[in-house]
């Protein structure tokens, strides 16, 4: 059984249809890169998988649980589906450690000493062990984004969703965040990421999905995807972003 299965998902904002019958599966351990122009529905798809946006049609199943069933406990789903946004959303008045331990302590009732140990572990994974007692405003944008990734990892999710997490960063900080993502990928985390970093998608993703006008226009294995676009739409998109 796929970890995620979206069947004919429809999402509207008022009269605007943002997802128009999207069907996609994500297997355990798979890394799926989602690319496309702004407004093609990429970020909305992630938010629907996580249950942050209700859908108007179709079905989303995560690990056997129907996310869009009114009876589903979405808080329980979100404990197992981490999502990291382009804005880091760290609490400025809390230290890095408190930012990371808050959810494990409140949601999972993790003991304080164990939560601190988890914080140490995930900060080591993102290369920021020495920043455990720092406050977010003393960190660079890249460091804040790495803390946001660590905070998500602290909940030991089954799936991580990344929504253009490098797009707000200065170019020299993008590399440090992508390096962390590569490390998380190497450890076997199932990931879906919306990204403009085509080199990263080619190098790290198992599969690339191109969205256009709220639909999945093309998809395929990363090693072949960029070299042989089948549609004019993907060809012109890649022509714009790769040059």
Sign for the CA dihedral angle at 67, 70, 74, 77 comes to negative
Per-residue pLDDT of the chain (243 residues; tens, 9 = 90+): 899 999 999 999 999 999 999 999 999 999 999 999 999 999 999 999 999 999 999 999 999 999 999 999 998 998 999 999 888 889 999 999 999 999 999 988 999 999 999 999 999 999 999 999 999 999 999 999 999 999 999 999 999 999 998 887 888 888 888 888 888 888 889 999 999 989 889 989 999 999 999 999 999 999 889 988 999 999 999 988 876
Q: Please report the pLDDT score of residue 90 as a whole number.
A: 93
Q: How many residues does the chain have?
A: 243
66-78: per-residue pLDDT in tens?
A: 999 999 999 899 8
Q: By the 8 A CB rule, do 192 and 162 touch?
A: yes
| Residue that has been written with the tokens 């572990």 in this structure | 121
Tell me the helices (H) and strands (E) count for the chain, helix number first: 9, 10
Which CATH architecture describes the domain 4-89+159-241? 3-Layer(aba) Sandwich (3.40)
Q: What ranges in the chain are assigned the alpha helix state H? A: 42-49, 74-80, 96-107, 112-125, 141-153, 171-186, 198-204, 222-225, 232-241
Query: What one-character DSSP code corresponds to residue 211?
Result: E
Per-domain boundaries in the chain:
4-89+159-241
Task: Give the global pTM.
Answer: 0.93
Q: By the 8 A CB rule, do 19 and 55 touch?
A: yes
Q: By the 8 A CB rule, do 28 and 73 touch?
A: no
Q: Rounded to the nearest 5 degrees, what angle is found at the Cα of 168, between the Cα atoms of 140 and 9? A: 135
- Phi, psi for residue 7 in degrees, rounded to 5: -120, 115
Nearest partner of 180 among 168, 194, 162, 198, judged by Cα = 162
């Amino acid at each position: 059984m796929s970890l995620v299965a979206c069947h004919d998902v429809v999402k509207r904002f008022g009269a605007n249809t943002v997802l128009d019958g999207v069907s996609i599966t994500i297997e355990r351990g798979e890394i799926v890169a989602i690319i496309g122009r702004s407004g093609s529905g990429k970020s909305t798809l992630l938010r629907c998988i996580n249950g942050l946006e209700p859908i108007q049609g179709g079905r989303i199943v995560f690990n056997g649980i129907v996310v869009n069933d009114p009876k589903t406990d979405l808080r329980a789903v979100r404990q197992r589906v981490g999502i990291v946004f382009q804005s880091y959303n760290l609490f400025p008045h809390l230290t890095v450690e408190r930012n990371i331990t808050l959810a494990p302590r409140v949601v999972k009732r993790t003991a304080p000493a164990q939560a601190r140990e988890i914080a140490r572990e995930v900060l080591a994974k993102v290369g920021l062990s020495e920043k455990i007692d720092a406050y977010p405003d003393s960190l660079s944008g890249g460091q804040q984004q790495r803390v946001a990734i660590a905070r998500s990892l602290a909940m030991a999710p089954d799936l991580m969703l990344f929504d253009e997490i490098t797009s707000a960063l200065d170019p020299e900080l993008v590399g440090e965040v992508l390096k962390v993502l590569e490390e998380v990928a190497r450890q076997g985390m199932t990931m879906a990421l919306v990204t403009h970093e085509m080199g990263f998608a080619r190098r790290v993703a198992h599969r690339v999905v191109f969205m256009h006008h709220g639909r999945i226009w093309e998809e395929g294995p990363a090693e072949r995807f960029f070299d042989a676009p089948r549609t004019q739409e993907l060809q012109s998109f890649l022509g714009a972003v790769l040059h």
